[in-house]
Amino acid sequence: MGNASAVAILEAKNLNKTYTVDQRNIVVLDDISLAVAPGEFVVIAGISGSGKTTLLTLLSGLDHPSSGRILIDQRDITDASEDELAPMRNRMIGFVFQSFHLVPSMTARENIMFPAELLGRPDAETKALKLLKRVGLEDRADNLPSQLSGGEKQRISLCRAMINDPKLLFADEPTGNLDSQNGRLVLAQLLELKAEQGATLILVTHNPEIAAAADRVLTLKDGSLTG
């Protein structure tokens, strides 16, 4: 794990994840240990079915491991309840998903504001409009998701992920549903916002072009880290 473990903002220790299907144990992740330093950009790579998304959901506290420990900012979250995890995630973690996960009945501005409103931030709308301008979509503030292109939706979801100035940003195939031009634009804006806010980025992808931009690439194969 290298010297990152001494100051790690994210640490996994001997993670395992298994599922039982028809009385058979299916091993999805096998003894995963890693540490990520503050501000680092780490890519988790591997072919489809290698366990990338499962690992991301465990590291972000969206699911629990079968065994092993997960620490975020030196706090062990492994056994934390959803009531404990939800406010912590909203306060210090941002998510960008392949399928956007925007609320259909909310405008672009309202989708971005939502996490900040949950924290009671009085500057939610000001920050949302600033982020919209930052990604060149200020003229889409009042549009519903159905009125936006795929690239625009992903840039809105990126703004939503960044509105609470997260320490940790998790991205699961953020360009997977986009054409190459929009994919490059979203990646560029993601990395720019990460740098501006000093966030740590853990990104799942099988795209070698994205992996080439990372500080470090961790490769999963059959549920184990190979690099």
pLDDT (tens, 9 = 90+) of the chain, 227 residues, equals 444 445 899 999 999 999 888 888 888 999 999 999 999 999 999 888 888 999 999 999 999 999 999 999 999 999 888 888 888 888 899 999 888 899 999 999 999 999 999 999 999 999 999 999 999 999 999 999 999 999 999 999 999 999 999 999 999 999 888 888 888 999 999 999 999 989 999 999 988 889 999 999 999 998 999 86
What element of type H or E holds 26?
Answer: strand 24-36
Burial (CB count within 10 angstroms: exposed 0-12, middle 13-18, buried 19+), residue 212: exposed
Q: Report residue 170: phi and psi, to 5°.
A: -110, 130
Note the pTM of the prediction, 2 decimals. Answer: 0.90
Domains of the chain: 39-61+79-222 (3.40.50.300)
Q: Which residues contact 51 (CB under 8 A, 6 or more apart)?
A: 17, 28, 29, 220, 222, 223
Q: Which residues contact 19 (CB under 8 A, 6 or more apart)?
A: 25, 26, 28
Closest CA to 112 of 166, 170, 157, 171: 157
Q: What is the pLDDT of residues 88-98, one digit of tens each?
A: 888 899 999 88
